[in-house]
């Protein structure tokens, strides 16, 4: 797994497992909240993604992820880490 650093800014990472056909939906939802973070696909076949947020926005990002989950998207947060 790659670590992403942007100008030495620490990022909060959510490691997520989800159905591969829902990756695009989660990515577009995150992009709609301009500036809170972004999604990278780690393994498209297995539905493994990383969602990154700047420190201080991780609670907002968690709410976005949980709202997508509440809409019926099958996803699971496998881990969270500061990178």
In a domain, 6, yes or no: no
Lay out the sheet containing 11-18: strands in order across. Answer: 37-43, 48-54, 11-18, 75-82
Q: Domain with 41 in it: what CATH number?
A: 3.30.70.3400
pTM for this model (two decimals): 0.87
Q: What pLDDT does residue 46 have?
A: 97
**Whole domain around residue 28: which residue ranges?**
11-82
- Asked, for residue 55, whether it belongs to a domain, the answer is yes
Please state the domain count of the chain. Answer: 1
Of 56, 49, 40, nearest to 18 by C-alpha is: 49
Judge whether 2 lies within some domain: no
Q: Tell me the per-residue pLDDT of 40-83, one tens digit each, with 9 for 90 and over.
A: 999 999 999 999 999 999 999 999 999 999 999 999 999 999 98
């Amino acid at each position: 797994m790659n670590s992403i650093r942007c100008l030495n800014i620490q990022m909060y990472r959510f490691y997520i497992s989800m159905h591969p056909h829902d990756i695009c939906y989660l990515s577009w939802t995150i992009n709609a909240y301009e500036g809170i973070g972004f999604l990278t696909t780690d393994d498209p076949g297995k539905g493994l993604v990383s969602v990154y947020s700047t420190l201080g926005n991780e609670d907002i990002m968690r709410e976005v992820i949980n709202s997508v989950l509440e809409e019926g998207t099958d996803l699971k947060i496998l881990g969270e880490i500061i990178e």
